[in-house]
Amino acid sequence: MKATNAREERARANALQAQIDELNAALAVANAEADRLKERVEALSAEVVRAERQAAGAEARAGRAEAATAGERSRADVLRDRVDGLQQDLLASQAVASELMAGRALMGMHARELAIAQHDTLAAQQAAAELRQADNARKARGLLTRLKAAWRGE
């Protein structure tokens, strides 16, 4: 019995050694897989760090872009205000120009009326001078000659 027991124990020891060898092989595979996964985790961690830096850089650029956009909006508002002011100045200038044009037209009309009045005055002065000459000539003919001419209807 001893021999059978020894054989059984040997067989059990061999079986246990085989299991231990299988488990050691599985452990080696698991350790290799753990090492590979650890390297992958480290690589992913490095990628996360790079991604975080890139995100921080993108956030900083976005902040600068927003600040630049706000500055451009502010400058655009200032320019719009200037344009509005210039448009109001233009409207006021156009109103003044219209008034000046109306005044110029009125002055032209007055100048024409003045020229007509001067012409009429000159014509009246000439007519008055002719009438004075005719009256002087009539008076120079004498009273008797004038009465005769009046009798005849001249």
The residue ranges of every structural domain in the chain are 2-152
Query: How far apart (Å, rounded) are the C-alpha atoms in residues 133 and 145?
Result: 17
Identify the band that residue 1 occupies on the pLDDT scale cut at 50, 70 and 90: low
To the nearest whole percent, how much of the chain has pLDDT over 90? 47
Confidence (pLDDT) at 7:
83
Query: Which residues have CB under 8 Å from 141's CB, separation 6+?
Result: 149
CA atoms within 13 A on the CB side of 102: 6
Contacts of 73 (CB under 8 A, 6+ apart): none
pLDDT per residue over 66-98, tens digit each? 999 999 999 999 999 999 999 998 898 888 888
Tens of pLDDT, residue by residue over 5-55, are 888 888 888 989 999 999 999 899 999 999 999 999 999 999 999 999 999
pTM of the model: 0.44
In this prediction, residues 101-113 reach a mean pLDDT of: 85
- 110-146 pLDDT per residue, tens: 888 888 988 989 888 998 888 888 888 777 777 777 7
Contact 146, 138 (CB under 8 A): yes
Residue 113 has a pLDDT of 87
Instruction: Report the pLDDT value the prediction gives residue 33, as an integer from 0 to 100.
Output: 92
pLDDT at residue 51 in the model:
93
